[in-house]
Structure 1
Amino acid sequence: MGTWISTWPSGPDEGDLPALLCLPPAGAGCQQFRAWTPALAEVAQVYGVQLPGRENRWREPMPETFDEAVEAIAAELRPIVAAGRRLVVFGHSFGGLLGYEVARRVTPAALVVSACRAPGHWDGAGRGIVDDDEELDKLFDTAGLDPAFLDEDTRSLMVAMLRKDAQLSLSYTHSPGDLLHVPVHAWGADGDETVTAQELAGWAAITTAGFHVHRVTGGHHAVLRRPETVLEHLAGLLREDVAAPARTA
């Protein structure tokens, strides 16, 4: 679709379907969301946000600030909204923070965040990843990756991407300003040692249109590793069936 937003056509009429915008966690690219396309083919066109420095944009420099990235994403997204298509924004971890700021600019039908602390809790988040190798090793462990089993080039590339995204997050300052007027759905995992229940609950303060918490079992990336339940929920939101319940996995 553009430089910042990728898509994977699912059929001849995808341009008439609602849109699901997916934002990946720090250090990751958006190709992982391509696997969601078959499950949602009848209800939505899936789009992924691709930050520079990874996958097909690995040679490109990162933006100077968090706001610069958000504005670039929003600019490519506005034609979808202008066409009158229903839009749901989904972001995981750092992607949830990006998704929130994008939602402030384009007003989707719903914002869904997973494993993501509320904006007011992001002050200084990521500093340890930038400065401390021990914190990086903990993050690899959280993702289920043992650094000892990664070859040097792969680990170096992953470290570089994580540190770039962490540095970008340090440029973020939450300005409460106007509240969102769209429902917010926050997904958390009972075994997540990175985002606390209190940090997840903080999302209630940023919207006037309803806040819902959904719980699964597992660690920080549980929603991405077993996405069936969240995909069912997203399909309901995309069909405007906002009351569709989410099962606890």
Structure 2
Amino acid sequence: MRTTPCPPLWPRWAWRAWAVQYPGRQERFREACVERVDLLVDAVTAEFRPVLGDGLPFGLFGHSMGAVLAFETARRLAGDGRKPAVLVVSGRQAPSLPWPPPGVPSLWDADAALLVEELRLLAGQDAEALDHPALLRLALPALRADYRMLQDYTYVPGAGLDCPVIALAGDRDPRVAVDAVAPWGRETRAGFEMQVLPGGHFFVDEHLPHIVETIGSRL
């Protein structure tokens, strides 16, 4: 796993942002994709432990499948005595709910046409990249790995996190219903907040300053 420091996102706070880059994506496209959440959590926590050694407060953010990864990473780090200051999950139903949700097919082993159709549904007007066969050939293996991870992920109930959880949802998300996001509140003993923002599945692209403000204010 690789964590990459990002440029400063907001001048009001002296904090750093680190982005997780999965194998099989972007500059790591030659690496084999990971198909199990627990293996990704192992890799992410191994990378983050040295970064968190200074004892400063930290938060975790994940969108879509990344919300599951952020949640399980938060639980793992909390078990090591490194409690996050906040967990922000976005565009993902609560982990306790069954996956796939009703009406959504199993996609990790679907043919390419069905997978592209699903991606067009999620991307909406921003689906131009799906018209390029060369880009699709690069992207589809990683997308299948993502869906395989979600298909095989098994939620294990726990005592609940001791950090606040903020759940973000898009009011027009075609696959993540707002009422399926609310049960994230069961995963914490330290306060829960839910925000419904305008947009589809990738509403985060339209609301990045607000999301940065939300995370930074908790740190």
TM-score per shorter chain, which class?
A: 0.7 to 0.9
Tell me the CA shift for residue 163 of structure 1.
0.9
Tell me the CA shift for residue 80 of structure 1.
2.6
1:75 and 2:46 matched? yes
Could you tell me which residue of structure 1 aligns to residue 195 of structure 2?
A: 214
Counterparts of residues 22-37 of structure 1 (less than 5 Å): 37=8
Could you tell me which residue of structure 1 aligns to residue 116 of structure 2?
A: 136
User: CA–CA distance in 1 between the matches of 2:30 and 2:67?
Assistant: 24
Q: TM-score, normalised by structure 2?
A: 0.86
Tell me the CA shift for residue 193 of structure 1.
1.5
Could you tell me which residue of structure 1 aligns to residue 80 of structure 2?
A: none
The amino acid of 2:20's aligned partner reads V
147-156 or 187-196: bigger deviation: 147-156
The amino acid of 1:115's aligned partner reads G
Could you tell me which residue of structure 2 aligns to residue 109 of structure 1?
A: 85
Q: Which one of 115, 118, 122 corresponds to residue 94 of structure 2?
A: 118
User: CA–CA distance in 2 between the matches of 1:41 and 1:167?
Assistant: 40
User: CA–CA distance in 2 between the matches of 1:62 and 1:155?
Assistant: 16
User: CA–CA distance in 2 between the matches of 1:174 and 1:163?
Assistant: 20
The amino acid of 2:143's aligned partner reads L
User: CA–CA distance in 2 between the matches of 1:108 and 1:46?
Assistant: 14
Conserved? CA contact 2:64–2:90, under 8 Å: yes
Gaps of 5+ in 1: 11-36, 239-249
Could you tell me which residue of structure 2 aligns to residue 163 of structure 1?
A: 144
Change (3 A) 1:64 1:190: closer
1:88 and 2:59 matched? yes
Tell me the CA shift for residue 130 of structure 1.
3.4
User: CA–CA distance in 2 between the matches of 1:93 and 1:226?
Assistant: 15
The share of aligned pairs that are identical, in percent, is 32
User: CA–CA distance in 2 between the matches of 1:139 and 1:128?
Assistant: 11
Change (3 A) 1:124 1:194: closer
The amino acid of 1:139's aligned partner reads L
User: CA–CA distance in 2 between the matches of 1:202 and 1:221?
Assistant: 20
User: CA–CA distance in 2 between the matches of 1:214 and 1:116?
Assistant: 13
Alignment: residue pair count: 209
Change (3 A) 1:120 1:92: same
Conserved? CA contact 2:91–2:176, under 8 Å: yes
1:184 and 2:155 matched? no
Could you tell me which residue of structure 2 aligns to residue 66 of structure 1?
A: 37
Conserved? CA contact 1:137–1:147, under 8 Å: no
Question: Secondary structure of the residue that 1:121 maps to in structure 2?
Answer: coil
Conserved? CA contact 2:9–2:17, under 8 Å: no
Alpha-carbon displacement from aligned partner over 1:141-193 (angstroms, at most 9, x marks no partner): 32134468622111222222211111122221000123111100001111112
CA RMSD of aligned residues (A): 2.1
Counterparts of residues 206-245 of structure 1 (less than 5 Å): 206-238=187-219
User: CA–CA distance in 1 between the matches of 2:207 and 2:95?
Assistant: 25
Could you tell me which residue of structure 1 aligns to residue 106 of structure 2?
A: 127
